[in-house]
Structure 1
Amino acid sequence: MLLRERDTPEGLLVSVCDRDCLGETYEDGPVSLEVTEEFYGGEEADDADAQAVVDSLTRATVANIVGERAVEVAVDAGIVDEESVLDVGGTRHAQLLWMR
């Protein structure tokens, strides 16, 4: 999985995606999800295992998660509720917002 963290004035923004999702666009009716190198990849992104993803998501203020494996990790860790996961054009997507 690719993991990227950014410090913002609002807190830590985390983006996680399955590597094979990078560069893809998923569509489902009016919903379009573009997994761009600029947001999910780049030099700031790290290859991450499940534990690194969980650690990052627990510190995040906001997170965007794309892909079967990435979303599965977040759900299995109890960070994302399965019922809030979206299926968009053949992949899974979840967003996270911690109110702290």
Structure 2
Amino acid sequence: MYLKIYKNGENVLVAACDKEVLGKTLKHGNAVVEIHKSFYEGECVSEEELKEALQNATTANLFGEKTIKCAITCGFIDSESVIMIDCVPHAQIFRL
């Protein structure tokens, strides 16, 4: 999994995706979602490293089966909040 962390003051954005979906363009109806390398490609991390990053995140944008499974297993998202975009699971986390 790739992980990139963006910090702006107290806000922490975690962008994470599976290696297999990095750089892909996904289509859903008229919507197009690009999993840009410039946004997602950071360090290759383990599930434990992703879990640690998500613990500190105020916002997260997640794509891919492994990434989503890790976030569900660690209790950060509910499986019912996952959507499929062009057969790729996606979820977002927002902490207010």
Query: What TM-score do you get using the length of structure 1 for normalisation?
Result: 0.91
CA distance in 2, matches of 1:9, 1:29: 36
Q: Which aligned runs of 4 or more in structure 1 are off by greater than 2 angstroms? A: none
Gaps of 5+ in 2: none
Counterpart contact for 1:31–1:88, Cα < 8 Å: no
In the comparison of the two structures, how many residue pairs are matched? 96
Equivalent position SS for 1:87: strand
Measure the CA separation in 2 of the matches of 1:32 and 1:80: 23
**Is the 1:18–1:67 Cα contact (8 Å) retained in structure 2?**
yes
Report the RMSD for the aligned CA atoms in angstroms: 1.1
Tell me by how many angstroms 1:10 deviates: 5.5
Where structure 1 has 5 or more consecutive residues not aligned to the other structure, the ranges are none
CA–CA distance in 2 between the matches of 1:46 and 1:13?
A: 15
Structure 2 counterpart of 1:94: 91
Share of identical aligned residues, percent? 31
Measured after TM superposition, the shift of residue 79 of structure 1 is: 0.3
In the aligned structure 1, how far is the partner of 2:73 from the partner of 2:30?
29
Superposition pairs of residues 20-39 of structure 1, within 5 angstroms = 20-39=20-39
Query: Which of 49, 54, 65 is the equivalent residue of 1:57?
Result: 54
What residue identity is the alignment partner of 1:53? L
